[in-house]
Every structure is written in C-alpha cells, then in structure tokens.
Amino acid sequence: MTLGTNIHTYFNGQWHKGNPAIMHAADHGAWLGTTVFDGARFFEGVAPDLEAHCARINHSAKALMITPTHATSEIVDLVREGLSAYPKSAAVYIRPMYWALDGGVQGVAPAPDATGFAICLEEVAMPAADAAVTLTTTQFHRPVLADNVTNAKAGCLYPNNARMLMEANAKGYGNALVADALGNVAETATANVFMAKDGELFTPVANGTFLAGITRARHISNLKREGMTVHETVLSFDDFRNADEVFLSGNYSKVTPVTEFDGTNYQIGPLTRRIREMYWDWALSGNNG
C-alpha cells in the first residue's frame, strides 16, 4: 500500500521507477520488525531541514542496533538526485529507510554490518492551511525507553500509534492526544503538539517518551528569532481543555490546526496561522538547511 503517486525508489545502488520489492522473507526486518525510517518534505522547490532528517535516520538505526551504511551527506545527495525527476511544483514525501538483514545473538538481535537501505520518494500534496483535525483521548499511552526504542523513528513503534488512531476514529475523531506513562500529555498519535494560552505558547517537555521532532524544533527556533518564547513543560489534558489554540507539528503537514478536543472547540487562531507563515517564510528563504 503506497502513500502517494509517482514513486521513485533508490535500492541496490540505483533509482527505480515505481515501488519495487526491497525485502526478503528471511530478512531480520521482515520477520522481527527491525526497521527505521525518516520523513522529509520537498515542496515549492525546497526540502527544509533535509540534512537533519537524513542525520536522524542514522541515529535511529544505531538506537535499534542496526549498522548505518550511508553518511548523512551521502543520503542528502541521493535524495537530491532522486528529486531531480520531479518538477519544482511537485510536493514529495521523502523517506530514507534501513532494516536489518541478518540475526545476531540467538537470531533475535540484529547482526552488525548487515543492513538494507532504500529511499522512497512519493508525490503527496501538502495539506491546506485550514486542513484541521479533531482530538480525543485514548486508552493507550507512549512507552518509556525501558519498554521500547522511543529514541528512534522505528517501525516497531507504529502499531501502538495505529491502535490510538483506530480508537480515536471509532469515537468520531481524527487523532488522539496521548499521555505518557505518568498521565501527562506527550504528543498525538502522529505528531508533536502545541497549545496557546493568553498569547503564550506551550508544548510538552521532551522526556524520552516521544521524539521531539525536527519540525517542532524549527518552530521553536523561528519563534525565538522573533522574540517569542515557547514553554517546554509538563502539560495535562486539562491544560489543553483550557487552551485558546491547539495545533500539531510534524514533517508531513508542518502545522495542522486542531478545532476540537473531546467537546472543547477552538478557532484556528492568530498564533497558529502566524507559526505556519513563519515556517513557510523560513523554508523559502534559501537558508533552510
């Protein structure tokens, strides 16, 4: 099942048109789920924070005990090579990935220096500025590092996210606002989260239960450059019920407004709109990494 259209895949040293098979049944990643990936975006002729995303996949691989095979700069160059097949007007989802090929200790741990690598480029439209989402709570929570590899963007984390989304959808909502093991808000099932109250911005403090995303960091940096402060702190569900604005932060959409959390309604407010404008201004400035 593909995410978008007009797919180009880098595998075994060359680019392929379409969605070729890249994994074998006996690959460690196929039967034990040792896979990591990252996601970046190309739109309006730019690929913001591409280097940071390509660096993070190597960090994720190491966290999952997979040996990275490509330097960050190599991955960046390959992605840019692949993007040359698309017009500048295209919106492309960029997904480099690693997986373990062989088993190590008792077959369960991945063997060192046995790594699969691919890059998938898919044409996927950027959501509109007013493409909002609604949130609800979920019975599932974010794990801690002692339970799972929360310091990696790993495929094995996503079945838990899928449970959250399915529960939210069954309740008539688009996404779930998710707690950590202590009951404090961590993020949503698919993205980091911010809230505004009385003109100030807040986001859950990075506590090891979720990836503090690259786009999240970019929003904070953009805000600081304009003299605005984001409070990274412990937040409760009641904090979000009392918020003036809520929005999601992630690579896929950059900024997604939230219009409801379990019956509490929000407007797509001025801070949400301004943060989106700031991101696009930075991304198109030519100094976007």
Per-residue pLDDT, averaged over 279-286, amounts to: 93
Q: Sorting pLDDT into bands at 50, 70 and 90, what band is 113?
A: very high
Both tokens of 32, joined, read 């034990």
Q: What is the CATH number of domain 5-123?
A: 3.30.470.10
Q: Which position has the token pair 């990275």? A: 68
Of 167, 193, 166, whose CA–CA distance to 266 is shortest?
A: 193
pLDDT at residue 284 tops 90: yes
Of 280, 168, 270, whose CA–CA distance to 219 is shortest?
A: 280
pLDDT digits 0-9 by tens, 87-111? 999 999 999 999 999 998 999 999 9
Question: Residue 289: what pLDDT?
Answer: 55
pLDDT at residue 2 tops 90: no
Phi and psi, residue 239, nearest 5°: -60, -40
Q: Sorting pLDDT into bands at 50, 70 and 90, what band is 1?
A: very low
C-alpha to C-alpha distance for 78 and 154, rounded to whole angstroms? 21
pLDDT at residue 287 tops 90: no
Question: Residue 25: what pLDDT?
Answer: 95
C-alpha to C-alpha distance for 123 and 4, rounded to whole angstroms? 5
Both tokens of 70, joined, read 């490509």
Both tokens of 253, joined, read 């959409």
The boundaries of every CATH 3.20.10.10 domain in the chain are 133-283
The CA-atom distances, in angstroms, between 137 and each of 61, 226, 231 are 31, 33, 23
Whether residue 51 contacts residue 144, with contact meaning beta carbons closer than 8 Å, is answered with: no
Of 160, 266, 289, whose CA–CA distance to 215 is shortest?
A: 289
pLDDT digits 0-9 by tens, 191-208? 999 999 999 999 999 999
Which CATH number is 133-283's, of 3.90.79.10, 3.20.10.10, 3.90.1150.10, 3.10.150.10? Answer: 3.20.10.10
The boundaries of every CATH 3.30.470.10 domain in the chain are 5-123
Per-residue pLDDT, averaged over 165-179, amounts to: 98
Q: Is the dihedral of CA 158, 163, 169, 172 positive or negative?
A: negative
pLDDT digits 0-9 by tens, 206-262? 999 999 999 999 999 999 999 998 999 999 999 999 999 999 999 999 999 999 999
Per-residue pLDDT, averaged over 98-126, amounts to: 96
C-alpha to C-alpha distance for 246 and 257, rounded to whole angstroms? 6
Question: Residue 182: what pLDDT?
Answer: 95
Question: What is the distance, to the nearest Å, from the Cα of residue 49 to the centroid of all Cα atoms in its chain?
Answer: 13
pLDDT at residue 6 tops 80: yes
